[in-house]
Structure 1
Amino acid sequence: MGLGSISFILIVGLIIIALSVFFTFVPIMLWISALASGVPVGIITLVGMRLRRVIPHRIVNPLIKARKAGLDLTTNQLESHYLAGGNVDRVVDALIAAQRANIPLGFERAAAIDLAGRDVLQAVQMSVNPKVIETPVVAAVAMDGIEVKARARVTVRANIDRLVGGAGEETIIARVGEGIVTTIGSSKTHKDVLENPDSISHTVLNKGLDSGTAFEILSIDIADVDVGKNIGAQLQTDQAEADKRIAQAKAEERRAMAVAQEQEMRARVQEMRAKVVEAEAQVPQAMAEALRTGKLGVMDYMNMQNIMADTEMRGSIGKMGHSHKHSDDKNK
């Protein structure tokens, strides 16, 4: 192979590489598609998107769709929203849906809703086709102590103006549940709620529960109402059981105090008996000492013995008379 042939092959290879890089970096087919759709986008603009790390087809394709729908959008608007982290295709679809439904929605508003984390297309669809939110079972107690369980279906419509900064579905469910509890709790009997479940709907709707939320409540329908437990009777039973336990505890406390006092008295009696025994044990010694020292004469001692014997005899006679009387009473 000659030098000329090698040079030719190198030149062809370099041309192929250059064309590959060119067609990879410059989306010619996308540019042709835009021109065919009547959306003039310059090659320089597409190259600039590449340099700004913007995927061109994510800007051009939504722009073509918007122009075909009659929306006056520019590449700068879509590109700035893309660079901000937004979903350009969803915003354009939402603008087209809003235009078809005669809902006033501008690009800046739609872009703000999208950047706030809301699904702007779903919001537009909910503005046209309201959504039904079903609450979980809410239990409340009427004034007569009977528990009532209710479940509601809330029909809401998205409020475009309050989507940014407005509360979501969880707030609607919580507020409706609070309204149900309030209505049931203010009813005199559970029968009033069962007979007129629509009273819950009227009371809840009059509270303006959709203020500060991203939705507008259209209606609240009570889907199901059931009777639960007799909470009043259960509370009374629990209170009676608690009172019973308190009384038992107090009685046990009094019994323990009585036992402690009895034990204390027994201890005192034992102590007194010990002292008496100790004193009686000292009497003979004292008498012997008195006789020895002459403080007590023999006659005095004999008189004292006679008195003690007489006292003991009288005591014996008294016990015998008492026992005879007790036997007569039993015989009778």
Structure 2
Amino acid sequence: MLIFSVILLSIVALIFLLMIASYVGLWFRAFVSGTPIQLFNIIGMSLRKIPPKLIVDTRIMSYKAGLKQIGVQDLETHYLAGGKVLDVVQAMIAADKANIPLDWRQATAIDLAGRNIFEAVKTSVYPKVIDCPARKDGEWIVAVARDGIQLLCRARVTVRTNIAQLVGGATEETIIARVGEGIVTAIGQCKTHQEVLADPQLISELVLNKGLDAQTAYEILSIDIADINVGENIGARLREAQAKSDMEIARAKAEEKRAFAVATKQENEAKIPLAMAKAFEAGNLGIMQYTKLKNIEADTHMREQIGKEVRVD
């Protein structure tokens, strides 16, 4: 019985030592790295459901990089808040090496806002290029010069991250929309499309001077016209449509005048019998005169019919 108890205690002690060994290893690594962390604190991380290895490694990493102000408590708090501790530490190290101002509070706020803080710092160091519009869509920026010629353009926008505006600043979609609008406006101000084809850089300069990166998470470094093609003659099409519209209006007015003339004629013809009746009553028109008038009308009608038959032949 005694032997069994000794064996059981030995097994329990061995399991305990194996469990403690990992914590001791982390404690020793932190100690030899010059940033000692209490052993009970490391054990407590597991109880708080915080991975001790992640906290110890990031603490050593930041300490060795010269970011001694980042404490273990800061790392634990950010992890419990749902943040990506490793990304934040790597981003702060990269920002420090590149002389980009970035403190712990700002970095964690950016990370908790859902932005990739490490990628943002990399973009600040190595600017990236945004296609406008996105090439995967197969679309063009469509603009029309003052001479009515349509131009199809694509631009490439070089940007770098504006760390100060990363939280709450507009994203790439806003940059693409603003650049597209700026190109359309700039081309619309050109007298002819030849001006744009001769010097596309003129459009780039006009757009770049508009300050399109205001209130965005990026700073625009350059805008380059990557491709430009001549489209349809929109001005000619509009003039043709206007001419057709004017013709229809003229026809409508002519028909209106013709209808008015016909109505006036019919109205005047309707007044003739009444006038003749009044003339009979007043004694101004006799039977012989009336008969002569009817003969003249019949003769005129006959002549008109003969004239029509001759024209047909």
- TM-score, length basis structure 1: 0.69
Cross-structure match for 2:57: 61
| Superposed displacement of residue 245, structure 1 | 8.8
Cross-structure match for 1:123: 120
Cross-structure match for 1:45: 41
The answer on 1:220 being equivalent to 2:220 is no
- Whose Rg is larger? 1
Cross-structure match for 1:267: none
The partner residue of 2:86 within 85, 89, 101 is 89
Gaps of 5+ in 1: 251-321
The partner residue of 1:147 within 126, 147, 150 is 150
How far apart, CA to CA, are the structure 1 residues paired with 2:250 and 2:55?
81
SS of the residue aligned with 1:144? coil
The partner residue of 1:178 within 157, 168, 181 is 181
Gaps of 5+ in 2: 134-139, 254-298, 307-313
Kindly report the root-mean-square deviation, in angstroms, between the aligned alpha carbons of the 2 structures.
3.3
Change in Cα spacing, 1:44 to 1:11, as seen in structure 2 (3 Å) is closer
Q: What's the CA shift string for 1:83-130, capped at 9, x where partnerless?
A: 111111111111111111111211111111111111211222222222
SS of the residue aligned with 1:157? strand
Cross-structure match for 1:309: none
The answer on 1:201 being equivalent to 2:204 is yes
Cross-structure match for 1:13: 11
Paired AA for residue 183 in structure 2: I
How far apart, CA to CA, are the structure 1 residues paired with 2:219 and 2:148?
34
SS of the residue aligned with 2:164? helix
SS of the residue aligned with 1:147? strand
Segments of 4+ moved more than 2 angstroms? 3-20, 232-250
Q: How many residues align?
A: 262
Could you tell me the percent identity over the aligned residues? 54
Cross-structure match for 2:296: none
The answer on 1:161 being equivalent to 2:178 is no
Range moving further from structure 2, 99-108 or 227-236: 227-236
1:1-332 alignment, distance < 5 Å:
3-20=1-18, 22-23=19-20, 27-72=23-68, 73-136=70-133, 137-238=140-241
Cross-structure match for 2:256: none
SS of the residue aligned with 1:213? coil
| Superposed displacement of residue 220, structure 1 | 1.2
SS of the residue aligned with 1:222? strand
Paired AA for residue 23 in structure 2: P
SS of the residue aligned with 1:27? helix
| Superposed displacement of residue 246, structure 1 | 9.3
